[in-house]
Structure 1
Amino acid sequence: MRVDSLRTASGPTISWRAIECWGAGISLFLQAGALLPLLLADADGTLSESAKSILRLPCFPIYAFTIVILIRNFPQFLTALRRNLIVPLILVLPFLSTLWSIGPSTTLRRAIGLLFCVLLSYVLAIRFTPRQLLFLLFVTLGTSIVLSVVISVVSPSLATMPDGAMRGVFIHKNVLGWYASLMILVATAMLLDGTLGLRRTAFCLWAAGMVCLASSGSMTAIIATSVAYCLIGFYTLLQRSSSIGRVVIVLFFVQLSLGILISLHEFLVPALEALGKDATLTGRVPLWELVDREISDRWLLGYGYQAFWTTMNPEATHMWLKIGWAAPHAHNGYRDILLSFGVVGMIPFVLMLPHAIRQGASLHCHDTQYGWLWLNVLTIMILVMNLTESIFFVQNDAIFILFTAAIIMFSLYAPVVSISHSQPRQAPSHGLTSGLQIS
């Protein structure tokens, strides 16, 4: 018989489920970069090398927790690997890129960090249902957002950037904006999902998220939040429609999205200039022009995983001198994939996304008991965020961990749900729950 609890020397027992929940919550809080980086950063939010060394220390308990949980649930881990082979394939790419990287040691070190982040995504996917993960994020993100509001009142100088924008418990206003946007999504999902209760708390955290979002001034987060509410309407309508109606809705939504993207590409800069706004998108447009040239020079394999944006790379240094600021990344996740892996890395990533989105939509329509709405919205929100920020393949980053966990979870549940949907007389999804979730 399997032992599902630990007994301390004094007698009390601690269940493994409690360890999983607390460990996952603390891991996400630390990987979000809340509080500790702010305390170690300079006034302008920069981190010294000694501070970065200190910040690496909390990662080791997270790695240990991840390994222990995966070992205890190794059969489920293998199942998750088999049901989506593209994720482990993409995970191998950072290590393979050390063979052609311009900074092999940097690539290898960061690839190891990415490996453990993706392994934590597997832990979240195999040990939590979508609704359980929603509650876990509700608590974790809620803690970060409430602390951000509190610290902005108690110590405004610490919670505010030099330009006056609010950064809360994070080192930059944009990071606060990202997590405030996710908090708004999670709180909205809690309000729509009546099974978890806590609607008053959800409304309070939704309001706190809105305050942080507006105070941060992050346009990426504001756009992502607007997209999230459009997607909530889309997925709600999709679930309530018939099979033919769903095809019409999807085609209309795809055409509308393409039209908006084309319009933004053609008219965004002239519109910003006419309004007297920054037409360079805070320096992103000239940065992207230079990045595209570098991508074309090594379009097949790239420069190696996260090897481009280092002081050892003369191309990056030359680019920084041209634009007048030290960009830490391309401010576009898709371009950073091409910089790291070239077309070889972009192809499997692009192949994975439509399949994951289709699986997620199918689960939302056919498996209503687990609450798939917010995970579908989260996935596309992060895709939108990466148009002006770089979140893909970032090691020790909670947003990429959640993005990967969503994709793994879609592929993990979709085959079982499709079988149960084709056999309506059988109880849906309970076999998956007993096989994957051990409470």
Structure 2
Amino acid sequence: MSGFSITAESRALITDVSRRPVMDFVRGAMFIGILLLVWVSLHPFDDLSGFLVADVTTGNDAVLYGLFGVLMVVMLALTMHDNMPALKSLMTPAFLLFIGWVCITVVLSFDPATSLRRLALTVFVLVVAATMLLLPKSQGELMRWLGIAALVLLVTCYLGVLLAPHLSIHQATDPQEPALAGDWRGAFGHKNVAAAMMAMLIFVGVYLVRAGGRLSGTAVGALAAIFLFFTAGKSSTALCAGVLLLSSLTAVVRPAWARAFMLLTPLVLLNLFSIGTVMSNTLAAIAGLLPLDTSFTGRADIWTFALDALHQRLLTGYGFEAFWGSDAIQNLKAGKEWAAYASHSHNGYLDTALGTGLPGLALLIAAVVVKPLRDFQTADQGGNDGPLTMLFLRIWLFGLYLSSMESFFLDRADTTWVTFLIAVFGLHYLARFRMRT
């Protein structure tokens, strides 16, 4: 018989060591799986040939609600024990005031039941996005997992183009927007979503290269850039180039006020010369002198309609996610019948005001515009000025700019919204904590 005995402490240590590889696998699988769920969705490669104008998304996807509800519980179980300080740090005035106001608009909603259902999924997604970045124990893990997810998404999109082009490339036979024929959309439902995602994957590729993953980063960046080109997404392409330039200038522009002016001035201009043109004849006249489509591909009409509706409920809006596709749109004038089937206004700030009123818009700006910029400045000055911080800054900035022409803020499990959220939470954590290399 051996002269050695195993103490309780040793037995616990052995158990912990044996469980560690399993937990490492679980953490990695959850991170990659959630990203792919958001990016690829439960319904990739939609067949648009049978899509009708009256097919409006109602937000009643029970499977998606149930899945994210389960994921929220699992993610909290995986992260709470070791990351309670990080989770508590999320209780900031900006976040709490905005969530509190949204809850008020649900109570006062034109359709409280719809608002409540959609708020439930939004909360599930918020918690999942907030806890995702707590799964990696080091920047090395985060880099590997992010690279794997990005490459899987890109391979999926390219395989779709090669093997099922009728489901991954817009067709001239599509009932809606046949003019987009030939534009790649990959696994996504529209080429604009694909273009936005590819732009953000270019940022991921740059991050991977700078973080040491030269091979994977080059592959992600190159594949995403090629796909972006074939989507013909002019807005995303221009914004991607602009964000890369402006974010690089933060290395030489150091004062907080100068950075705020440099990064937020384009956001103001984008909104002034888009939605602002239907609010001011002067802005419309100036825009007319610029090399722009002054109808903004038909967006001007929908902005005018949405602004008219907003004027009737400036304080509370129509309730969280309770305007488009609801009974709030009634007695439409001749020529405005399309409004009954629209799903958004093509401007995230305007849609936020429609759902939560002007106070909600102000609180959203405080939570996702002002606060992340302050977090970036704090992280940068505190020594967290590496490639990861720059990745989150670029995704966040791209999302802010894109929201001047598209609408994804608070849109439950929307691909662009969740990716944007991850960047917002990433800047929040980097302003307060350090991740091991």
Q: TM-score, structure 2 length as denominator?
A: 0.80
The answer (yes or no) to whether the contact 1:95–1:107 under 8 Å persists in 2 is no
The CA distance in 1 between the partners of 2:361 and 2:256, in whole Å, is 28
The CA distance in 2 between the partners of 1:276 and 1:246, in whole Å, is 33
The CA distance in 2 between the partners of 1:252 and 1:409, in whole Å, is 22
Q: Cα distance, 1:53 vs. partner?
A: 9.0
Q: Deviations over 1:263-314 (max 9, x none)?
A: 7767996688679864211111121111111111101011011110124333
What is residue 70 of structure 1 aligned with on the other side? 76
What is residue 147 of structure 2 aligned with on the other side? 138
SS of the aligned residue for 1:138 comes to helix
The answer (yes or no) to whether the contact 2:183–2:231 under 8 Å persists in 1 is yes
Q: Which runs of 5+ in 2 are unaligned?
A: 1-11, 172-180
Q: Show the 5 A alignment for 1:202-281.
A: 202-238=217-253, 246=255, 249-250=258-259, 253=262, 257=266, 260-261=269-270, 278-281=293-296
The CA distance in 1 between the partners of 2:264 and 2:323, in whole Å, is 35
Q: Cα distance, 1:382 vs. partner?
A: 0.6
What is residue 242 of structure 1 aligned with on the other side? none
**2:194 corresponds to which of 159, 172, 176:** 176
SS of the aligned residue for 2:342 comes to coil
The answer (yes or no) to whether the contact 1:41–1:48 under 8 Å persists in 2 is no
The answer (yes or no) to whether the contact 1:101–1:305 under 8 Å persists in 2 is yes
Q: Residue type of the partner of 2:198?
A: A
What is residue 241 of structure 1 aligned with on the other side? none
RMSD, aligned CA: 3.6
Q: 1:232 to 1:203 in 2, by over 3 A?
A: same
What is residue 426 of structure 1 aligned with on the other side? none
Q: 1:45 to 1:74 in 2, by over 3 A?
A: same
Matched length: 404
The CA distance in 2 between the partners of 1:391 and 1:295, in whole Å, is 18
What is residue 185 of structure 2 aligned with on the other side? 167
**2:165 corresponds to which of 137, 152, 156:** 156
Q: Cα distance, 1:133 vs. partner?
A: 4.2
Q: Cα distance, 1:255 vs. partner?
A: 8.3
**1:103 corresponds to which of 111, 117, 134:** 111
The CA distance in 1 between the partners of 2:59 and 2:261, in whole Å, is 50
Q: Which runs of 5+ in 1 are unaligned?
A: 8-12, 239-244, 417-428
The CA distance in 2 between the partners of 1:98 and 1:225, in whole Å, is 35
1:113 is the counterpart of 2:121? yes
The answer (yes or no) to whether the contact 1:184–1:209 under 8 Å persists in 2 is yes
The CA distance in 1 between the partners of 2:105 and 2:158, in whole Å, is 42
1:285 is the counterpart of 2:268? no
**Residues 157-166 or 387-396, more deviating:** 157-166
Q: Cα distance, 1:346 vs. partner?
A: 1.8
Q: Cα distance, 1:397 vs. partner?
A: 2.1
Q: Cα distance, 1:150 vs. partner?
A: 2.3
What is residue 425 of structure 1 aligned with on the other side? none
Q: Show the 5 A alignment for 1:289-328.
A: 289-315=304-330, 318=332, 321-322=335-336, 324=338, 326-328=341-343
1:339 is the counterpart of 2:354? yes
Q: Deviations over 1:95-118 (max 9, x none)?
A: 432211111111111111101000
**1:185 corresponds to which of 168, 192, 203:** 203
Q: Residue type of the partner of 2:209?
A: L
The answer (yes or no) to whether the contact 1:302–1:339 under 8 Å persists in 2 is yes
Q: Deviations over 1:215-265 (max 9, x none)?
A: 112233123212221133123334xxxxxx535853762586378546776
Q: 1:95 to 1:321 in 2, by over 3 A?
A: farther
Q: Deviations over 1:323-381 (max 9, x none)?
A: 74632101111011101110221222222222221211331342246731111111111
Q: Show the 5 A alignment for 1:383-402.
A: 383-402=400-419
**Residues 404-413 or 340-349, more deviating:** 404-413
The answer (yes or no) to whether the contact 1:28–1:140 under 8 Å persists in 2 is yes
**2:366 corresponds to which of 351, 372, 383:** 351
Q: 1:288 to 1:393 in 2, by over 3 A?
A: same
- Percent of aligned positions that are identical: 18
SS of the aligned residue for 1:57 comes to helix
Q: Residue type of the partner of 1:294?
A: A
The CA distance in 1 between the partners of 2:334 and 2:121, in whole Å, is 26
**Residues 130-139 or 45-54, more deviating:** 45-54
The answer (yes or no) to whether the contact 2:256–2:377 under 8 Å persists in 1 is no
**1:22 corresponds to which of 7, 29, 35:** 29
The CA distance in 1 between the partners of 2:61 and 2:67, in whole Å, is 12
Q: 1:248 to 1:343 in 2, by over 3 A?
A: closer
The CA distance in 2 between the partners of 1:103 and 1:335, in whole Å, is 19
The CA distance in 2 between the partners of 1:192 and 1:224, in whole Å, is 21
The answer (yes or no) to whether the contact 1:273–1:279 under 8 Å persists in 2 is yes
**2:421 corresponds to which of 404, 411, 418:** 404
Q: Cα distance, 1:5 vs. partner?
A: 8.5
The CA distance in 1 between the partners of 2:80 and 2:422, in whole Å, is 17
**2:133 corresponds to which of 114, 125, 128:** 125
Q: 1:222 to 1:270 in 2, by over 3 A?
A: farther
The answer (yes or no) to whether the contact 1:232–1:377 under 8 Å persists in 2 is yes
Q: TM-score, structure 1 length as denominator?
A: 0.79
Q: 1:206 to 1:84 in 2, by over 3 A?
A: same
The CA distance in 1 between the partners of 2:58 and 2:310, in whole Å, is 29
The CA distance in 1 between the partners of 2:128 and 2:420, in whole Å, is 12
Q: Deviations over 1:68-122 (max 9, x none)?
A: 2213432534642444423244334444322111111111111111010001112
The CA distance in 1 between the partners of 2:126 and 2:425, in whole Å, is 10
Q: 1:296 to 1:189 in 2, by over 3 A?
A: same
The CA distance in 1 between the partners of 2:388 and 2:317, in whole Å, is 39
SS of the aligned residue for 1:236 comes to coil
The answer (yes or no) to whether the contact 2:28–2:135 under 8 Å persists in 1 is no
Q: 1:409 to 1:182 in 2, by over 3 A?
A: closer
Q: Cα distance, 1:20 vs. partner?
A: 2.1
